[in-house]
Amino acid sequence: MLVNGKNECIQCTIENCAYHAKSEDYCTLDKIRVGTHEKNPTKIECTDCESFKNQA
């Protein structure tokens, strides 16, 4: 649910993402996709936000 332009259900600290709320550490998307770049992920470092978009 978006509140004041941010989704309070998705916290995010990636400030260079186009979807970061800027004033607070939240995402502005309705939903995100989380994936992996590993065949067998076993650590947090193996996961990725596949909704990430670098701000231009």
**Domain residues of the chain, as ranges?**
2-49
Stretch 1-18: mean pLDDT:
92
pLDDT score for 1: 74
pLDDT at 48 over 90: yes
Contact 51, 10 (CB under 8 A): no
The stretch 16-44 carries a mean pLDDT of 96
Mean pLDDT, residues 29-42 taken together = 96
Give pTM, 2 decimals.
0.84
Give the pLDDT band of residue 3 (cuts 50, 70, 90).
confident
Question: Nearest-CA neighbor of 25 among 11, 39, 36?
Answer: 11
